[in-house]
Amino acid sequence: MKNLVLLTITFLSSYCLMAQTDLKRPEVSQAASVMQRIGLTDISISYHSPLAKGRKIWGDLVPYNEVWRAGANENTTISFSSDVKIEGKLLTAGTYGLHMIPTEKEWTIIFNHNSTAWGSFFYKENEDALRVKVTPRAASMQDWLSYYFAEPQAKSVMAVLRWEKLEVPFKIEVDVPEVVYQSMKRELSNINGFFWQGYNATAAYCIQNNIHMDEAAKMIDNSIQIQKTFANQNTKAKLLDKQGKSAEADALRKESIGMADETQLNAYGYELMNQGKMPEALEIFKLNVKQYPNSWNVYDSLGEVQLASGDKKGAMTNYKLALAKAPENQKKRIEGIIQKI
């Protein structure tokens, strides 16, 4: 019994000592992260931020021509939710250990498959997924190491390391149309796959971006098979136009006009306006007025196309009709237009 008590005390003492050493304390180089979305692609960088504290950084604390962990403590990591291009080179989706090799004039940015190591101490070149060369640039003094995203565009962004008096940028590009298309296809495997709208939206996106046209044809036929509507008929007409079948496209549009409601006719009219097809747009807005004479918005839209076509008299008439029917929150805008005619 005495031995058992001693053994228990020894075990508890050892456990308590281990527990004390595992207690969390503030890190000298604190953890940080940044995230940017481009299209539907999420890009994130997780790192620990050391301070310069008056030390010489480049070529000293961080030696030249040696692999550096691009931060402090454990791996700096960078994650991509879809395939990307780094400085024009393909990198597949995933999480990578981010390392760098600094020199005075050119840096190597390394994306390594091992993202769970401690810094660069266990780095192996044969585990690299990609290496690219970039040129650093001068910056104002910043004591702490940080990452940020700059120059976000529809399909690209610059990731930037900044520390001391230096910035190291590298460009990330995303094939946004392809990523969106693949995302839409995945969504069509859940409840969206039972309804016409998802197939129509996917086909329309493909047509707009001129991608996967064969798949777009299948998608729009699926949509029409589920339920024929003005929206999917109009999408199919756009596909026929792309295929050089203008006569078939026009016939389909005429057939489908009778299915359109006020909102759809209005949107179609503006679509024609944006294409520079003013006479066709005028006819659609006139049809909307005929079918929905109690709506203020149909007169407002007809007035707009008439004004854009140079018909000030017709525009004035229809803007006044719109004003008489419009809700209070629209009257001031319409009055302003009338005053300028």
DSSP code string of 270-333: HHHHHTT-HHHHHHHHHHHHHH-TT-HHHHHHHHHHHHHTT-HHHHHHHHHHHHHHS-HHHHHH
Segment 140-147 mean pLDDT: 97
Q: How many CB atoms lie within 10 A of CB 306?
A: 22
Q: In the prediction, which pLDDT does 4 show? A: 34
For residue 244, which amino acid is it? Answer: G
Segment 321-325 mean pLDDT: 96
Pairwise pLDDT comparison (12 vs 117), residue with the higher score: 117
Segment 240-251 mean pLDDT: 94
- Name residue 132's beta-bridge partners: 109
State percent of the chain over pLDDT 90: 89
Residue 204 to residues 5, 180, 209, 264, 323, Cα–Cα distance (Å): 76, 12, 9, 15, 35
Q: In the prediction, which pLDDT does 12 show? A: 42
Q: Quick check: 96 and 60 in contact, CB under 8 A?
A: no
Which band of pLDDT confidence, cut at 50, 70 and 90, is reported for residue 34?
very high
Does the pLDDT of residue 10 top 50, yes or no? Answer: no
Strands 137-150 and 156-173: antiparallel
d(CA 266, CA 288): 7
Segment 4-33 mean pLDDT: 60
Strands 89-91 and 107-112: unpaired
Segment 238-245 mean pLDDT: 95
Calculate ∠ Cα 236-240-242, nearest 5°: 115
The structure tokens listed for 87 are 């400085």
Which band of pLDDT confidence, cut at 50, 70 and 90, is reported for residue 23?
confident
pLDDT in tens, 248-302: 999 999 999 989 999 999 999 999 999 999 999 999 999 999 999 999 999 999 9
Question: pTM of the prediction?
Answer: 0.82
Does the pLDDT of residue 15 top 70, yes or no? Answer: no
Q: In the prediction, which pLDDT does 27 show? A: 81
Q: How many CB atoms lie within 10 A of CB 82?
A: 21
CATH number of 175-259: 1.25.40
Q: What is the mean pLDDT of the chain?
A: 92
Q: In the prediction, which pLDDT does 9 show? A: 42
Does the pLDDT of residue 2 top 50, yes or no? Answer: no
d(CA 320, CA 341): 11
Does the pLDDT of residue 312 top 90, yes or no? Answer: yes
Does the pLDDT of residue 327 top 70, yes or no? Answer: yes
d(CA 204, CA 210): 10
The structure tokens listed for 131 are 């290496």
Does the pLDDT of residue 330 top 70, yes or no? Answer: yes
Q: In the prediction, which pLDDT does 7 show? A: 36
CATH number of 261-341: 1.25.40.10
Contacts 24+ apart (CB under 8 A), 116-125: 116/74, 116/75, 117/74, 117/75, 118/73, 118/74, 118/75, 119/69, 119/72, 119/73, 119/74, 119/75, 120/67, 120/68, 120/69, 123/67, 123/97, 123/99
Tell me whether the CATH fold assigned to 175-259 matches the one assigned to 261-341. yes
Q: In the prediction, which pLDDT does 28 show? A: 81
pLDDT in tens, 105-115: 999 999 999 99
The beta-strand segments (E) located in the chain are 30-38, 41-49, 77-80, 84-86, 89-91, 94-101, 107-112, 128-134, 137-150, 156-173
DSSP 127: G
pLDDT in tens, 179-236: 999 999 999 999 999 999 999 999 999 999 999 999 999 999 999 999 999 999 999 9
Domain boundaries, the chain: 30-174, 175-259, 261-341
d(CA 11, CA 329): 76
Does the pLDDT of residue 316 top 70, yes or no? Answer: yes
Q: In the prediction, which pLDDT does 119 show? A: 83
Residue 175 to residues 209, 219, 280, Cα–Cα distance (Å): 11, 21, 35
Helix (H/G/I), strand (E/B), else coil: 164: strand
The structure tokens listed for 176 are 């946004």
